[in-house]
Amino acid sequence: MKLRIVVTLKNGVLDPQGKAIHHALTGLGFTGVNDVRAGRLIELDVADNTTDEAIDEMCRKLLANTVIENYRVERASPGKVEAGFPSGDANKKGA
Amino acid sequence: MKLRIVVTLKNGVLDPQGKAIHHALTGLGFTGVNDVRAGRLIELDVADNTTDEAIDEMCRKLLANTVIENYRVERASPGKVEAGFPSGDANKKGA
């Protein structure tokens, strides 16, 4: 079972990495960028019988610092094998 | 317009961060974890008139190292404002 754990900073927490990216984009001449937030993504391949509780515990114990970070667990839909993850109108690029 | 840029290592590229997470999960007693890959997530809030080409250029010039990384651009669906990003059966946690 493939999972994607998305870890993002909570609102109100300073994001120096995002600020640096924003600054760099502006410096490269990209206008119209209002805000940038940096986060982490962890792709897990776990056994099919792994419970939601176990996944939640992994996130709280290791993958995310819940004091300053939110996490979200996204699952690959069981019906769709080729897509890997449900990602709406996502475009795979740079392959 | 809110965008989510997902940057992941290409297949075959060594992922020491993912390996370390895998090792730590095993050490914490979580069995059944087959593989872990670490990636980056960059949330951009850009002007609505930003072209796909500009977004692509941002990724290639700054956000991803296309020699070793893939990137994927995910868009918030125009119809859905509350969800923020299309994420299938995602569960927001840790808020």
Tokens of A38: 């940096």
More confident residue, B29 or B80: B29
Contact between residue B39 and residue A42 where contact means Cβ atoms under 8 Å apart: yes
* Interchain pair B73, A61: CB under 8 A: no
HSE-CB at A21 with a 13 A cutoff on CA atoms is 24
What structural domains and CATH numbers belong to chain B?
A: 2-75 (3.30.1280.10)
**pLDDT on residue B76:** 72
A64 to chain B: which residues are within 8 Å by CB? 94
C-alpha–C-alpha distance, residues A57 and B71, integer Å: 28
C-alpha–C-alpha distance, residues B68 and A20, integer Å: 22
Nearest by Cα to A4 from A88, A86, A90, A95: A86
Out of A10-14, B73-77, B83-87, B89-93, pick the least confident: B83-87
C-alpha–C-alpha distance, residues B44 and B1, integer Å: 8
Tokens of A13: 């927490």
- Which residue is closest to B48 within chain A, CA to CA? A32
* Interchain pair B39, A42: CB under 8 A: yes
**Residue B9: strand, helix, or coil:** strand
Tokens of A70: 């939110």
CB pairs A-B closer than 8 Å: 180
**pLDDT on residue A74:** 93
C-alpha–C-alpha distance, residues B5 and B73, integer Å: 5
Inform me whether the pLDDT recorded for B77 exceeds 90: no
> Tell me: the pLDDT tens digits for B20-69?
999 999 999 999 999 999 999 999 999 999 999 999 999 999 999 999 99
ipTM of the complex: 0.77
> Tell me: the pLDDT tens digits for A52-88?
999 999 999 999 999 999 999 998 765 433 333 334 3
**Residue A75: Cβ within 10 Å count:** 18
Contact between residue B23 and residue A62 where contact means Cβ atoms under 8 Å apart: no
